[in-house]
Each structure stands twice: as C-alpha cells, then as structure tokens.
Structure 1
Amino acid sequence: MSAIDLYARATAGFDERVANALRLLTEAAATHGAGIVQSTSLGVEDMVVTDLIARHRLPIALATLETGALHPETVALIGRITAHYGLAVEVFKPREEAVVHFVKTNGAEAMYQSLELRKACCGVRKMEPLARMLAGRTAWVTGLRREQSNARGEVPFSEPDDAGRTKLNPLADWSWADVWHYVQLHQVPYNPLHDQFMPSIGCAPCTRAIAVGEDFRAGRWWWEQDGAKECGLHVKHDDAEQAPVSSLIGDRA
C-alpha cells in the first residue's frame, strides 16, 4: 500500500490552504526577485512546494543539500525534478576535506556516540553547505508544517532567520492528509521511501521507518531523546545549543 493510499484524503478548507500557500509564494517571488530560493529537503512537503512553484511558473530558484549520506532514492529525486518539471536544481555538497577530516577524527558512526558529535556531523554535512546556499539570498522557502512536531507547533508562515532573511513556510497550516491529497491530485513525484513508513527522511544513518502510533519524526535520530531531534537547519541559535562550525572536526567525545 502506498503512502497516498494510506494518508491522502480531502479535508475542509483544503482549497483555501492551497490558495494561501500559492499567494504567499507569489508575493514573496514578487518581493524578492532573484533573491529567493526554495531550500528543498526532497521530502514530500518540499515536493509539494516545488510543484506549486513549477505549476504556476513562479521565479523561485530550487536548491538542495546533498550531504553525501542520503539514501539513493532521495538523491534520485533531484534528477526526477528536472525530468518532470524541466527545472534545474542547485546542489550544495559538504566540503570533501571537512567530511574526510571529521570521519577520520571521529569515525564513520560518530553520530551515534553523542548528541554533540551528531550535531557536529550535521554541521559539516548540512549547516555549512546551507550557508553557501543562502549566501546573497534575501529569502528562502521551506516545507515546515506545525503538525510535524511539538517543536514546530507554532511555525509561522513567514519569519526572519538569524541573518535577517525572510524564511517562508507556506505549508505551515497544512495537515499530513492535505500534503498527500495534493500529491494525489497533481501526481507529484515523491520519495518511494515514504511508502516504507518513513514520513520524515534525512540522511540514511539517521532515518528509520516508524511504527504504528509513533510520532511523525520518531524515525529521525531515534536513539536520542525527543527534545534533541533537530539538525540545526530550522533552529535559531538563541533557541538551542548548536556546535559552531569551527569546532566540528575536533577530537572524539
């Protein structure tokens, strides 16, 4: 059974939520021009955002982080986006020398050893490439939804990030059913791992399928306590401890 079969259903207010998301994207594109980018995780929410951008021919660039530790199915989506929509996706990878140094110093499975090392790995593979992705940009678009976790329960439609850029979350009020209903209606390509009970997909070593009754993000960093389950991409520095980039390749903890 596919994720569409499991989750897609029409709910009251769906058309209004789609219209609002499109309005937010359209206004942001007009305001920021070449300065706006969708930072896509290639998860299903981000694929919905990409579809809205492509379907309505909005001048918003597409970009993603290829961490070097993604599932093959996730990486394959980059080419599928180009084939399906005719749009290029900018790909930002971690600096090879930083990854080699981190792994040599801390081991290939450092993320399982401590929260500090896991966040350090995220810093090398995600945070530093994200900084390059957003350099010179004035706005970025995400697929964050309030329903995804308690930590995201108050996600606004628009907010300033740490650097003063506009961070747009057009699906903030969408439900999981909304996301899959949209996918079903518009035949949006998505990661087949979603069909394997992986609602939230990150790097391969840090993602597993969830069981019935588990939280949406229970499959991410499942060996950690719930409060720690963010990589830093969507956490303001004054809201949570985050290892500085300069310390990411230090001694093993």
Structure 2
Amino acid sequence: MSVRYHTAQHKDYETLNRKLHNKDSLDVLKWADHSFGNRLVYACSFGAEAMVLLDLLSKVQKDARILFLDTDFHFKETKQLIERVEKRYPSFEITQAKPALTPVEQAAAYGERLWETNPDLCCQMRKLDVLEHHLQPYDAWLSGLRREQSPTRANTEYVNADHKFQKIKVCPLIHWTEEEIWMYIRLHQLPYNELHDQHYPSIGCTHCTRPVLPGEDERAGRWAGTGKTECGLHTEGGRQT
C-alpha cells in the first residue's frame, strides 16, 4: 500500500494485513520501508518496546527518522536514555519536538497543574498537537503498540488506518509479549530506561506516572486516579478542549 492515506479503503487494509499475517516484525518493517521510504517516521516514546523497535529498525532503515514528543515534563532518566540511543545509532535522525507553549506559558494561560485539572487538554497541547504538526511531511508512522498491553490495544493490526492524524500507522510488535520484549533487550544488551527497574513498566511525564504495584495492570501507573489510561495518540476522536 504505497498509496496516500486518502486513497486507501478499509478492504485495502484487510487485504494487506492478511498478506502480512504470517510475517514477523522485521518483515513488516521491510514492507514499511519499501512502501514509504523517507516518508515514514517512528514516533518513539523510548519505552521498553521502543528499544526493540529501534534496534530492528536499524537493520532495515539505518537513517530512520525518529520523533520524540518532548513535553518538557519527562523524567531525567528518559532524556539520558535518548543520549545513549543517539550514541548507539548515530545515523538515526532524532527530533525532540516541543509544544507551542512552555510550561510557564501554559500555567499562565490555563492555570497551574493542568495535568490534574484537565489532563486531556494537557496531553492535547503537549503531545497530540505536536505529533499532528510533525507528522505533516509523512505518509505513515511507526508505533510500538502491543496487543497485550491493554484492552484498547487488543485489536491493533500490523497496518492501521489512523483517522485521527490522516496517516497510516504501522505497528510491527503487536504479537510480542512483555517477556519477549525483555528477552530481546537482554540478549542484545540494549539500553533501556532505568525506571523500568523501579516498577515503572510504562513511563510518561513525571506528573502523571507512578510506579505500578504488584498485581496491577502495567498501565495502572499512568494518570492514576483519573480514569484516564491513554494520552490520546492511539485513540480515535476529535480535538480535546
């Protein structure tokens, strides 16, 4: 499907995913590289899945474009990890994209601690709007979503119509388990966020991420106590206000 988003029909995605059904993650990345070339970008969170996907991507597209949404509220361990990744994969083009408003400007316009008073709006301005802007030059983007991560991700396919951003979203790791992710990281001695060793399976902004307790879902530490489980990048719907 080297066609642009607006010409792709639902049946095109079904047919393509049937063809890719028995392929592995590397095959999916090769297909994405062949289909989109330099109009493919990886919107990378630098979580555990990202370490695997970055390593696989380096075998297919050495000069891959990597996009990190720098909300200004990330843990120092996350920023340190990005530096380690830059050294390991020097040919990657890594962009750290920031929101239109600084934290001080956001506080002046919307009040202190917007992540508590209106977390959806905070995510909209500091993540979704930024991604939408930086996806403009591209036809498709990569994501490290896995089906077992949460019920909202259970039906994710290798290739997905992304109605929110009017792009094609490619998810090569949908069948991987958490155990397989960590086996790959250790086998290949990949760098990873040190917070994972401190009971942070999913890592976002400092204000909205806490350690996960024994027996909790792996995303229980994100926006705890708010009923929110996704920032909105991987859900359909319009702009939050």
2:158 corresponds to 1:153? no
CA gap of 1:84–1:58, structure 2 versus 1, over 3 A, is closer
Question: 8 Å contact 1:36–1:139 — kept in the other structure?
Answer: yes
Q: Is the 8 A contact 1:232 1:242 kept in 2?
A: no
- Which residue in 2 is equivalent to 1:186? 188
How many Å apart are 1:75 and its aligned residue? 1.2
> Which moved further from structure 2: 48-57 or 122-131?
48-57
**1:216-242 deviation per Cα after TM superposition (whole angstroms, max 9, x unaligned):** 1000001112xx3111111111xxx65
Runs of 4+ residues deviating >6 angstroms: none
Structure 1, residues 71-108: CA drift from partner, whole Å, max 9, x if none? Answer: 011111221111111123111111135x4443113333
- The offset of 1:208, in angstroms, is 0.4
Count of residues in correspondence between the two structures: 219
Whether 1:78 and 2:79 are equivalent positions in the alignment is no
Q: Which residue of 1 aligns with 2:214?
A: 212
Amino acid at match of 1:229: T
Greater relative contact order, per chain length (Cα 8 Å cut-off, separation 6+): 1
Does the 8 Å CA contact 1:33/1:59 hold for their aligned counterparts?
no
Contact 2:33 2:60 in 1 (8 A): no
CA-CA distance at 1:110 after TM superposition: 2.2
Quote the offset at 1:34 in angstroms: 0.9
Give how far 1:41 is off: 0.5
Distance in 1, matches of 2:188 and 2:61, equals 15
Task: Look up the match of 1:118.
Answer: 119
Aligned to 1:197: 199
Instruction: Please list every run of 5 or more consecutive structure 1 residues that lacks an aligned counterpart in the other structure.
Output: 1-16, 248-253
Per-residue CA deviations over 1:145-193 (Å, capped at 9, x if unaligned) read 1111111111111101114321001001110001001101111111000
Letter in 1 for 2:219: R
Distance 1:85 1:58 in 2: 8
Alignment correspondent of 2:18: none
- Alignment check: 8 A CA contact 2:63 2:93 kept: no
- Name the amino acid aligned to 1:49: L
Whether 1:90 aligns to 2:111 is no
The two structures have a TM-score, normalised by structure 1, of 0.81
- Which of residues 26, 32, 54 in structure 2 aligns to 1:28? 32
Matched residues in 1 for 2:48 and 2:93: separation?
Answer: 18
Distance 2:133 2:82 in 1: 19
1:230 alignment partner in structure 2: 230
Identity of aligned residues (%): 36
Let me know the Cα RMSD of the aligned residues. 1.9
